Amino acid sequence: MTESSSTATLACVSAPHEPSWREGVKTGMPSLFGIGAWGLVVGIAMVKSGLAIPQALGMTLMVFAGSAQLAALPLIASNAPVWVIFLTALVVNLRFVIFSALLAPHFSHLPWRQRLMLGYVAGDMTVALFLQKYPSEAPQVGKLSYLKGLLYPNWISWQVGSIAGIFLGSTVPAEWGLSFAGTLAIICVMIPLMVGRPALCGVLVAGAVSVLAHDLPYKLGLLVAVLVGMLTAMVIEETADKWRSKRG
């Protein structure tokens, strides 16, 4: 393939393609309610944890990582050391490094600013849905439009829910049991992502460890559970790959 034809092929990946955009929006539509509900709960949790409204707004707009926010908020409220808060959020968000590595081969030709923006708005569900549609790194028409159709509605749904929660936080009674509602919202988002034995085993092990390590100080049980769950999934996947390669 000549350089000019290769450039033209890569250009078709990033060129606006309305059908692919609409398909991405349609594919991600079923998850938007769960994302919005999760954002609502996190928004309320930020205010209930003692953050002022400007602080909560800044957090939701800059961080855009509900699991890290939910992990950090109890630590902030309990005046945990900064290093514990930072390390917990970092470990919970390690999966985004994997997401970026999976998306990078598809869009390495894009300017770094555009790739940075895509990384910012990327989420668990959207990356999983994109890779189901485009498992191959080969250039295809409408790839970027499809990804944007997944990412932007997902981001908007989260922010609408989160900002609503921030402004409603002071009016919501504590007895409503929002922590349980947050758990339900997270489960609604997670279930479609539990595809394959490694992911399922990782989730089950992480859940068991989080219960066993519940009494650790500074909410370190969550940190330990995430690490053990991730390692479990990685070990099972690597073992399965070796077993398949020996058989094949």
pLDDT recorded at residue 193: 57
For the stretch 90-135, pLDDT in tens is 887 887 888 888 888 888 888 999 999 998 999 888 988 898 888 8
pLDDT recorded at residue 146: 94
pLDDT recorded at residue 88: 83
Closest by CA position to 124, among listed 146, 90, 95, 94: 95
pLDDT recorded at residue 4: 47
For the stretch 189-227, pLDDT in tens is 565 556 677 778 887 888 888 888 888 776 677 667 777
Handedness of CA 34, 36, 42, 48 (dihedral sign): negative
pLDDT recorded at residue 66: 83
Angle at 42 between CA 40 and CA 45, to 5 degrees: 110
Reported confidence tier of residue 9, pLDDT bands at 50, 70, 90: low
Q: Is the pLDDT of residue 20 over 80?
A: yes
The token duo for 5 is 């034809």
The token duo for 56 is 């909560």
Closest by CA position to 224, among listed 49, 78, 180, 215: 215
For the stretch 31-87, pLDDT in tens is 888 888 888 888 888 888 888 999 999 999 988 888 788 878 888 888 888 888 888
Q: Give the SS3 label for residue 109.
A: coil
Q: Is the pLDDT of residue 183 over 80?
A: no
The token duo for 128 is 């999983």
Angle at 225 between CA 129 and CA 48, to 5 degrees: 80
Please indicate whether residue 85 or residue 6 has the higher confidence score (pLDDT).
Answer: 85
Calpha distance 133→140 (Å, rounded): 11
pLDDT recorded at residue 49: 81
Contact 228, 193 (CB under 8 A): no
pLDDT recorded at residue 5: 46
The secondary structure of 132-166 as a DSSP string is: HH--S-S--TTHHHHHHHHHHHHHHHHHHHHHHHH
Handedness of CA 52, 54, 60, 63 (dihedral sign): negative
Calpha distance 72→16 (Å, rounded): 38
Give mean pLDDT, residues 23-38: 89
The token duo for 60 is 């939701």
